[in-house]
Amino acid sequence: MKKITKVLIANRGEIACRILRTLTRLSIPGVVVYHPSDADSPAVRMAAEALEINGSTPVAAYLDTDQVIRACKETGSDAVHPGFGFLAENPGFARRLGEEGITFVGPLPETIELMGNKVAARAFCIRNGIPLASSVTEGDADGEFPERARELGLPLLIKAAAGGGGKGMHIVREMADLAQAIQLAKGEALRAFGSDEVYAERYLEQPRHIEVQVLADHHGNVLHLGERECSIQRRFQKIIEESPAPDLSPNLRGRICAAAVEIARKANYRNAGTVEFMLGPDGEFYFLEMNTRLQVEHPVTEMVTGLDLVELQIRVARGENLPLTQQQVQSNGHAIELRLYAEDPEEDFLPSTGTLLAYRMPAGESVRVENGFAEGMTVSSAFDPMLAKVIVHGVDRRQAIHRGLTALKDTLVLGVVANVDYLARILSHPAYMAGHIHTGFIPKYRKDLRPPMLDEEKRNLLLAAAALSSREFTDPAFDVPEPYTFMGDWRN
């Protein structure tokens, strides 16, 4: 058993706030490190202690392992929770913490190395009989990589080996585009992950993206907390997730979840992790990757199971047994997570920057908000454009969708372009409401998801309201003109 008396959170924004809430409930002091650009953030205000860190860029500061470890020693923090992103899947960081006697709230460094590289993870799955989509890697000895990739047939997906999040991924539908796609993927992978290793796999048309939340302790206990549907994506990045996945037969759900547990068990996994699969239209599923950390979308699992994943992570990191068995895991109702991004869906989801002039999040029955911003803060290009997550729960999927739409109506973001209305159009689309979803949903229904055209009356009202809110319009129109402004009060 390890004693955890103070936890440093090596992250920022909404995930730092979310971890702090659990730590507060557990009466464990939480420490955050922050770049000066985050000095006024809710996470800094919530934390028992906060230490400033610096770097050549804001991101570089959060990736500086020396500063994070120095902060642990200065504050007496004996554990680090990495959240997601930044150092969360860095095996060198986890190993370094162990050498310093600091507990890493996550899996073993060896497991992060194994599952963090997609090529190594796929080789592991092949050895253990886990189903995979046909693929080739740059390390294949028999033949040049482009030639081997061509043998897979079209369409192809070129992917970075060392990371995810949609970076370093390109679909190839014409063989003439293969060489360029490989070079683009390698360049993006090197910039994003420090490695230009890529691989190619046969691209499944309109698959579903299903992932399984797993938990494992240091005593050989491994279980799953059900699956999440993550098929609504743009640029290979998720924007809506839900649990349970709609229209899965009990048999298929059981097989997918059992495969996830088997992967975690054979990988000697510890702590919380997520195994991701692609589900083809034919009902066959294939291993995609394993994320060795807490996922952005973990709240939907918490909403349907009633469990606190951060608390369970802390318990496992302390060396405790998992407090429940697989049979005790219950799923109740339906949950949907909506990611609020500062981006313009009408401009190919171009990130938007600026000051949050008005910023109000929804509240209400079965509504949960994970948020790291406040009114008046600046949304910069230094970080991912996600502002917050709105999670809703209902007795069934229909009620969850209705509550999601209501929550979005109660959300106000001014000062940057945000995807609030776009998310509402997805939720209210007939195909989404019917559960007919796949990773190509947004491209397929691109025209349907555009904002409706304004009628002339509404357009004129909006233009009038905008004019009346502008001093450049109101001052000349309503100010008393000279020379009358200097005449004072007088009567004729």
pLDDT of residue 141: 47
From 228, 293, 339, 397, the catalytic residue: 293
Note whether 371 and 42 are within 8 A (CB). Answer: yes
pLDDT of residue 134: 83
Structure-token pair, residue 227: 């699956």
Q: pTM (2 decimals)?
A: 0.88
Q: 374-388 burial, b if ≥16 CB within 10 A, otherwise e?
A: eeebebeeebebbbb
How far is 36 from 86, CA to CA, in rounded Å? 17
Task: Return the closest-CA partner of residue 96 out of 82, 76, 117.
Answer: 82
Please enumerate in sequence order all residues whose Cβ is within 8 A of that of 368, keeping only pairs 6 or more positions apart, or say none: 299, 303, 390, 391, 392, 393
Any catalytic annotation for residue 122? no
pLDDT of residue 94: 98
How far is 433 from 268, CA to CA, in rounded Å? 39
Given the structure tokens 């063989």, which residue do they identify? 175
In what helix (H) or strand (E) does residue 441 lie, and over which residues does it extend? helix 441-444
pLDDT of residue 342: 98
Q: How many CB atoms lie within 10 A of CB 323?
A: 13
Q: How many CB atoms lie within 10 A of CB 434?
A: 10
**DSSP, residue by residue, 204-251:** PSS-EEEEEEEEE-TTS-EEEEEEEEEEEEETTEEEEEEESPTT--HH
How far is 134 from 153, CA to CA, in rounded Å? 10
How far is 53 from 389, CA to CA, in rounded Å? 26
Cα 22 → chain centroid: 19
Structure-token pair, residue 432: 């989404």
User: For the chain, which domains are there?
Assistant: 7-105 (3.40.50.20), 134-202 (3.30.1490.20), 208-444 (3.30.470.20)
Per-residue pLDDT of the chain (492 residues; tens, 9 = 90+): 899 999 999 999 999 999 999 999 999 999 999 999 999 999 999 999 999 999 999 999 999 999 999 999 999 999 999 999 999 999 999 999 999 999 999 999 999 999 988 888 988 998 999 988 888 887 654 558 888 888 888 899 998 887 766 778 899 999 999 989 999 999 988 888 888 889 898 888 889 999 999 999 999 999 999 999 999 999 889 999 999 999 999 999 999 999 999 999 999 999 999 999 999 998 999 999 999 999 999 999 999 999 999 999 999 999 999 999 999 999 999 999 999 999 999 999 999 999 999 999 999 889 999 999 999 999 999 999 999 999 999 999 999 999 999 999 999 999 999 999 999 999 999 999 999 999 999 999 999 999 988 788 888 888 888 788 777 777 777 776 676 666 666 565
| 3-class secondary-structure state, position 125 | helix
Structure-token pair, residue 378: 């600046």
Q: 402-421 burial, b if ≥16 CB within 10 A, otherwise e?
A: ebbbebbeebebebbbbbbe
In what helix (H) or strand (E) does residue 311 lie, and over which residues does it extend? helix 309-317
